[in-house]
Amino acid sequence: MKASPAILPITHRSVLTVAVPIMLSNVTEPLIGVVNTAVIGQLPEAYYIGAISIGALIFSFLFWGFGFLRLSTSGMTAQAVGAGDNRELTAVFWRAIAIAIAVGVVLVLASPIIEKVSFDLMGGSAEIRAQGEIYFRHRILSAPFALMNFVILGWFIGQGRAKTAFVVQVFLNLVNMGLGAFFVLSLGMKADGVGLSALLAEFSAVLLGCLLVWHSFRKLHATATWSQIWNRDKLMRTLNANGDIMIRTLCLVFAFAWFVARGARASDVIIAANAVLLNFFEVAAYLIDGFAYASEALVGQTVGAKNRERFRQAIRLTTIWSLIVGAVCGVMIWFAGPWFIDLMTINPEVREAARQYLLWAGLTPFLGCICFQFDGIFTGAMATRDMRNMMIVSLLIYLASWWILESALGNHGLWAALCIFFIARGVTFAWRMPALERRAFA
């Protein structure tokens, strides 16, 4: 009989076993936007690219705002694994799936309002808006499936089954890219083809994920009863945790939206330079997140098993690897950044401006990896109220820093404020760590 992951020793190998598949699957995520842009870019009219870019940005904010479903599912799953409670493990899945379906249906029903508000805020030409709305109306139908995929990924990650999560995520991304190319290049579809490919990809991934979940249920030999799934206390804990994480996520989204908006007020060159540099940070963040996911699973299992020594070992090893990858990413941005900048834009003014702020972009992976790690630790321990409160405090520090620094240093001050935001998140999380440990092992 295979040993429970909650009692196996935590080593560098066990950390990498969870983190590396997640890192590889995360890297495929930015490729969707690249391929979709390349595919739609084969059409002669430039406004198609603008339409897909704006539509994809709307869904990034919309679905990212509901990323709490993956985080809370991962933390609760890991604790059920640590406690050796297979019935609760299945109940966690069904509770989260029910919430995902309900929220997804509400998003579809509210889509006319979401569409109008979003495109009014984003602006753009009449052609861009028309094609963007076509894309939106196809892709919004994927909302229930996209949120169900969050749950499926969180459920497998919480068990430390990163390879299974990797298979589902890569399958989703490959289907999306393949169908997008087929619909546009072979069938002559336009924005509707890109939106339809995303819908079918999410649906296909749900089918694959549910098949893998069903296979897992058979191995668990445990069936959650109706009363256990809808246990009032556990359902309220799930809803409260999701609410806390949603507030935290919206604060994070606001912080980056504010950064982009302030750059846009400066000039077209500044916003373009910032966009290029933020792409570097985004790719690095996807890589570093692999260790945050690993800490979610390992910390959650140790809390469920009430094993303080494993808890500290999980934090120590995942943090070491996160710092290593963060430092490597920072160094690569510093030294290879000029080459990547030239690859991403041919505009000489944007190239020059991006080089001026490259040092700040190189700092972001190293500073960000600390708060990413704490996100994973606090999610695994289901300390969601602390996550919410520390994010609010950090956001206020960020805005105060921006108000002081941007007026004095311009775009350098904006980047400095973003770095202070990462530092504030790390410091406030560290301040709450002793209380988290006392509460988790009381």
Q: What is the DSSP track for 96-160?
A: HHHHHHHHHHHHHHTHHHHHHHHHHHH---HHHHHHHHHHHHHHGGGHHHHHHHHHHHHHHHHTT
Selection from 361, 372, 376, 374 nearest residue 281 by Cα: 361
Cα 352 from Cα 358, distance rounded (Å): 10
Tokens representing 209 are 């994920």
Tokens representing 391 are 């994010």
What SS3 class is residue 66?
coil
Tokens representing 425 are 């998140």
Which phi and psi angles does 78 have, rounded to 5°?
A: -60, -40
Amino acid at 131: Q
Q: Tell me, what DSSP letter sits at residue 44? A: S
Tokens representing 401 are 């820093």
pTM attached to this predicted model:
0.72
Q: Does residue 411 contact residue 263 with C-beta atoms inside 8 Å?
A: yes
Cα 43 from Cα 19, distance rounded (Å): 39
Q: For residue 246, what pLDDT is reported?
A: 79
Cα 81 from Cα 432, distance rounded (Å): 25
CA-based end-to-end distance of the chain: 31
Cα 140 from Cα 152, distance rounded (Å): 19
Q: Does residue 292 contact residue 376 with C-beta atoms inside 8 Å?
A: yes
Tokens representing 438 are 């006392």
In order along its 442 residues, the chain shows pLDDT tens digits of: 344 554 556 778 878 887 777 777 666 665 565 566 566 656 666 566 667 766 776 776 777 667 777 777 887 888 888 778 888 888 889 988 998 999 999 999 999 998 888 787 666 667 778 888 898 899 999 999 999 998 998 899 888 787 888 889 889 988 988 898 899 888 888 888 888 998 999 999 999 999 999 998 888 777 777 777 777 777 777 777 767 877 888 888 788 878 877 776 777 677 777 777 887 887 788 788 888 878 887 888 888 888 888 888 888 998 899 999 999 999 999 888 888 887 766 778 878 888 999 999 999 998 988 888 898 899 888 888 898 999 999 999 999 999 999 888 988 999 999 999 999 999 999 999 999 888 888 7
Q: For residue 33, what pLDDT is reported?
A: 57
Cα 60 from Cα 277, distance rounded (Å): 18
Alpha-carbon separation of residue 248 from 189, 241, 313, 400, 440 (angstroms) = 38, 11, 27, 18, 21
Where do we find the tokens 């509707």? Answer: 192
Q: For residue 13, what pLDDT is reported?
A: 82
SS3 content of the chain, % helix, strand, coil (to 5): 90, 0, 10
Q: For residue 292, what pLDDT is reported?
A: 84
Cα 420 from Cα 229, distance rounded (Å): 42
402-406 CB contacts, 8 Å cutoff, 24+ apart: 402/258, 402/262, 406/262
Reported as half-sphere exposure (CB side, CA atoms, 13 A), residue 435 has a value of 9
Query: CB within 8 A of 359, min separation 6: which ones?
Result: 334
Which phi and psi angles does 33 have, rounded to 5°?
A: -65, -40
Alpha-carbon separation of residue 149 from 134, 143, 197, 201 (angstroms) = 24, 10, 16, 11
Q: For residue 111, what pLDDT is reported?
A: 92
